Structure 1
Amino acid sequence: MTESIYIPAIAGDGSLFPIEKMQAHLDGQLHLAVSVFVFDGDLLLIQKRAASKYHCAGLWANTCCTHPHWDETVEHCAERRLTEELGFTLPLTRHQTVEYAADVGEGLKEHERVTLFSAQVDSQTLQVEPVADEVDEVRWITPGELLREVRERPQDFTPWFRIYLQRFPGLSFAEAA
């Protein structure tokens, strides 16, 4: 049996309250999240979500993303998730926070207030060790190649990643660092 994980949900008055992660997705409850984008120049490290993930399995997404645990900072959460999904840590730059809602299939909905983070690395020296339960595959891609692939095969990419690319087509949020 899977352990219940409580994440920070956002009430109508803006206050936070704990909610079980799966319940947040069933209800479409607004909750906190983080998304990390690791670059080497203009190349972006993307991941294919593991086939065993509870939603959006086998789809391509940004470098990593998740929800903070209850009482966890978004900064700690972003650092933690890099290790849990890809086996490395990096100093991250915090960017703006965005909100979106999307149907992610299987009767689940994401309604997230997401803090975006980025890092610049040398892809030749970065040791990426994808964790099999989380990630099936990783690759580096240019913004132009990524936008072309999303245009040609949108069904291969997570809804939130497509939303980010619509809002930041050149991934320019990371250039403001």
Structure 2
Amino acid sequence: MNTAPTVIPAIAADGSLYPVEKLKAHTDGLFHLAVSVFVFDGDYLLIQKRASSKYHCGGQWANSCCTHPHWNESVDSCAERRLTEELGFSVPLSRRKVVEYSADVGNGLHENEKVTMYTGVANRTTLQILPNPLEVEDTRWITRDALHAEIAQHPERFTPWIRIYAERYPELAF
């Protein structure tokens, strides 16, 4: 098992990228690259409950998957890799838009991200989901209306980023 720190692309003030250890990006609130994937079946979105052991937002519901590209990894390759690593399946992904957000994620950690968003389509009745238990505690399909209602009623059950996405980017996935 590789225990070396993960190095991700941070974004300098001039827009250039530089390598930084992932945890440092979050402790220092450095602006960095990320990807978010949304897998749909019609009006249903596949969401995941992050493993309780995750270093931030464990046990909270998030979009289908999200992560950071490794240093020198393309965002497209990263989105495809992470979908397979976290949920054990692959579907064709379409790049949708790039957004930025910043949020406190607890335990002294802060997300400050430039996120490339992707969507994919799957058949929820036949898709075989094989969650990696180190990453994902549970998955479920939820309609957009039900997701909005649950976020409004119990925001603490959802990661800061999915709450932000639902509020700011309804044209993308909500």
Structure 2 length as normaliser, TM-score? 0.97
Query: Counterparts in 2 of 1:13-162, with a 5 A limit?
Result: 13-162=14-163
Q: Over aligned residue pairs, what C-alpha RMSD do you find? A: 1.2
The alignment partner of 2:5 has SS state of coil
Deviations 1:58-109 (A, max 9, x none): 0000000000000000000000000110000111000110000000000000
Q: How far, CA to CA, are the matches of 2:3 and 2:74 in structure 1?
A: 23
**Structure 1 runs (4+) greater than 3 angstroms displaced:** none
Q: How far, CA to CA, are the matches of 1:85 and 1:156 in structure 2?
A: 20
Please, which runs of 5 or more residues in structure 2 have no aligned partner?
none
Amino acid at match of 2:101: Y
Q: How far, CA to CA, are the matches of 1:31 and 1:119 in structure 2?
A: 24
Amino acid at match of 2:21: E
The alignment partner of 2:120 has SS state of strand
The alignment partner of 1:51 has SS state of coil
Please, which runs of 5 or more residues in structure 1 have no aligned partner?
none
Q: How far, CA to CA, are the matches of 2:173 and 2:135 in structure 1?
A: 24
Residues 174, 160 of structure 1: CA spacing in aligned structure 2 closer, same or farther, 3 A cutoff? closer
Whether the aligned pair in 2 keeps the contact of 1:95 and 1:174 (CA below 8 Å) is no
Q: How far, CA to CA, are the matches of 1:49 and 1:2 in structure 2?
A: 21
Question: Which residue pairs with 1:8 in the alignment?
Answer: 9
Cα distance, 1:173 vs. partner? 1.5
Q: Percent identity?
A: 61
Cα distance, 1:168 vs. partner? 2.2
Cα distance, 1:124 vs. partner? 1.0
The alignment partner of 2:126 has SS state of coil
Q: How far, CA to CA, are the matches of 2:145 and 2:94 in structure 1?
A: 23
Q: How far, CA to CA, are the matches of 2:60 and 2:113 in structure 1?
A: 19
Cα distance, 1:174 vs. partner? 4.7
Q: How far, CA to CA, are the matches of 1:136 and 1:104 in structure 2?
A: 18
Corresponding position: 1:173 with 2:172: yes
Whether the aligned pair in 2 keeps the contact of 1:34 and 1:117 (CA below 8 Å) is yes
Q: 119-128 or 138-147: which moved more?
A: 119-128
